[in-house]
Amino acid sequence: MPSQKDLDATRPALIDHRSPWQPAGLVKGLSARPLDGDLTADVCVIGAGMAGLLCALELAERGRSVVIVERSHVGAGDTSATTAHLSAVLDSRYFELASMHGEEAARLVASSHMRGIAHLERVMNAYGIECGFQRVSGFLCAGDKAQGKDLIREHAAATAAGLVCELVKRAPMPLAHGPALRVANQAQFEPLEFVAGVLDVLAKKGVQIHAPVTVNAFDTSNGGEVTLGTAQGRRIIASHVVVATNSPVNDVAIIHTKQAAYRTYTIAFEIGESSPSLSWDMDHPYHYARLAVDAETERPILIVGGEDHRVGQGDDAQKHFPRLETWARERFPTAGNIVCQWSGQVLEPADGLAFIGKNPGQERVYILTGFSGNGMTYSALSAELIANLIAGVPHPFEKLYDPKRKPASASAIASYVQENLNTAAQYSDWIGPADVSNADQIAPGEGAVVRRGLTRVAIYVDDAGAKHELSATCPHLGGVVAWNSAEKSWDCPCHGSRFDCHGKVVTGPAVSDLEPVEQ
């Protein structure tokens, strides 16, 4: 096995920072239009990722008038970054979920994710969407005796929850050296090809998509409707609003105290033909793998991911991809050259379950968040749940994913406390040392935070040597942003807001850019 030094020496200087889905195109015949005037709709969906588009489709199928607004472009954010594991294998084990929420809740959890897979399959078949959807098995892989014992517990708990599963000696893609739990009837697909197909359907159903539109104000004082303000100076009036932005942009604090934002890293390697399956190990944080086809080269690839850490708190962002590469090559010696690499953002709820439903304290506003590593199935099951809530029709998962719930079990409360103590500790950056003492220490193409009296300034030095100065204060709740050298972004370590190198917001919950500093 080559050493890290050997890997660094052979690693290409320039690797595509993209997912393997992105060259397929995002819109395929349907472009989002600017919002050139105020508008009114029955339902306004904020966010044109997988969750928002599926909610809009379900609502349109039920006869609602729907408009979608998006800050960036269709399929932006984590819909482009997903590895598209369509699975009922979750970040939390079923024996943990049964302990936290009860055995009946665990059965509902398993049922909801299997229903999410079926929803995606139904949409694909109903509208003839070509997206490489196929049913595969998922394998949860144990690496030592302790994990082996947990695997036995998981087998019993997952079976009790209604999943069809069995213990096997080895997984086809062994992420660890021990036995594995094979879970039947999982799936995988090409997410942006699926999105393109959904866009065609939405266009035929008269659903308008407007971008770029940044929603920055919510007025629910009129009980019969919601008035949205936008950074573009337009108003949107809707009877109902669905916030499908991964991290809610309408909530200042409540939901953000019940979940934490994590970055996750992914690499695609050249690989020979192989039988597709999904795999996860049981480490903390865990790793995952699947096979796919790269949209640009049209060749088979191996996708591996992991190295998760709290946003803005990685010890050195440049180390995560090399560490992940080392991990992958130890387990997949036939993996070839790196095709591309990218990262995404997941929201981890304290009690292991997403928040889908009415937003606490806001009438007629619904949120979808806390999807952990199961964004695709959560997006699909959210569509049916939200449509039912808007129609006033009961849904079997309504109580399970209710956003107003609080951590109730000892382990959920412990996670809640730990993550919030972590968040609170990040505000000590206001009194801690700066990254560098002056801007002359910042290399071209890099950024750093410097202190000027009582203020913190985020300075990016472009490749030509010009300095771009911004307030280092996150406009969400005042955290001090940190420079992400791997992705050339400013990341807030408190609640996960991210900004590009020039301060433009790219990830919520912030809805405004970093303020420029007059030089």
Q: Residue 270 forms beta bridges with which residues?
A: 301
Tell me what pLDDT residue 31 has: 62
Give the residue from 319, 498, 191, 432 showing the smallest Cα distance to 514: 498
Query: What does the alpha-carbon distance between residue 56 and residue 173 come to, in Å, rounded to a whole number?
Result: 37
- Other beta carbons within 10 angstroms of residue 457's beta carbon come to 19
For 267-284, letters b (16+ CB in 10 Å) and e give bbbbbeeeebbbbbbbee
pLDDT in tens, 203-226: 999 999 999 999 999 998 887 899
Q: CATH topology for 429-507? A: Rieske Iron-sulfur Protein (2.102.10)
Task: Quote helix, strand, coil % in the chain, to nearest 5.
Answer: 30, 30, 45
* C-alpha to C-alpha distance for 76 and 72, rounded to whole angstroms: 6
Query: In one letter, which amino acid is 11?
Result: R
pLDDT for the residue numbered 15: 77
Strands 66-69 and 85-86: unpaired
Count helices and strands (H / E) in the chain. Answer: 10, 24
Is the separation of the CB atoms in 495 and 426 below 8 Å? no
pLDDT band of 30, cuts 50, 70, 90: very low
Contact 243, 367 (CB under 8 A): yes
Q: Among residues 73, 67, 78, which one has the least CA distance to residue 45? A: 67
Inform me whether the pLDDT recorded for 327 exceeds 50: yes
Query: For residue 428, is it left (φ>0), alpha (ψ between -120 and 50) or beta?
Result: alpha
- What residue segments make up the domains of the chain, in order of their start? 429-507
H-run or E-run covering 221? none
Q: In what order do the strands lie in the sheet with 455-461?
A: 446-452, 455-461, 467-471
Summarize pLDDT for 419-446 with one digit per residue, the tens. 888 888 888 888 888 888 888 899 999 9
pLDDT cut 70: percent of the chain above it:
95
Return the half-sphere exposure (C-beta side, CA atoms, 13 A cut-off) of residue 458: 29
Query: 8 pLDDT band (50/70/90 cuts)?
Result: very low
Give the C-alpha separation, 279 to 111, whole Å: 20
Angstrom distances, CA of residue 490 to CA of 213, 496, 503, 511: 21, 10, 7, 14
Quick one: tokens of 306?
Answer: 């992991």
pTM, to two decimals: 0.93
**Residue 60: which pLDDT band, with cuts at 50, 70 and 90?**
very high
For position 10, what pLDDT does the model report? 46
**The pLDDT value given to residue 398:** 96
Q: What percent of the chain has pLDDT over 90?
A: 77
Residue 29 has what pLDDT? 42
- The candidate with the shortest Cα–Cα distance to 116, out of 43, 54, 34, is 54
Match 């992991």 to its residue by tokens.
Answer: 306
The DSSP bridge pattern shows strands 365-369 and 278-281 to be: unpaired
**337-392 pLDDT, tens digit each:** 999 999 999 999 999 999 999 999 888 999 999 999 999 999 999 999 999 999 99
Spatial distance between the Cα atoms of 21 and 54, rounded to a whole number of angstroms: 18
pLDDT at 7 over 60: no
The pLDDT assigned to 317 comes to: 67
**DSSP-derived secondary structure letter, 252:** S
Report whether pLDDT(4) > 50: no
What gap in Å lies between CA 325 and CA 503, rounded to an integer?
30
pLDDT at 75 (0 to 100): 84
Q: What is the pLDDT of residue 486?
A: 85
pLDDT in the model for residue 28: 46
Question: Within 13 Å and on the Cβ side, how many CA atoms surround 489?
Answer: 22
| Neighbour order of strands in the sheet with 489-491 | 482-484, 489-491, 498-500, 505-507
Lowest mean pLDDT among 10-14, 119-123, 280-284, 312-316: 10-14
Q: Euclidean distance between the first and final Cα of the chain, in Å? A: 51
Is the predicted pLDDT of residue 26 greater than 50, yes or no? no
Strand partners, 489: 484, 500
Calculate the average pLDDT of the chain. 91
Rounded Cα distance between 445 and 44, Å, is 39
User: Which residues, 6+ apart, have CB-to-CB distance to 237 below 8 Å?
Assistant: 38, 39, 40, 41, 225, 226, 227, 228
Per-residue pLDDT of 93-127, as tens digits, reads 999 999 999 999 999 999 999 999 999 999 999 99
Contact 358, 254 (CB under 8 A): no
Taking the C-alpha atoms of residue 377 and residue 26, their distance in angstroms, rounded to an integer, is: 20
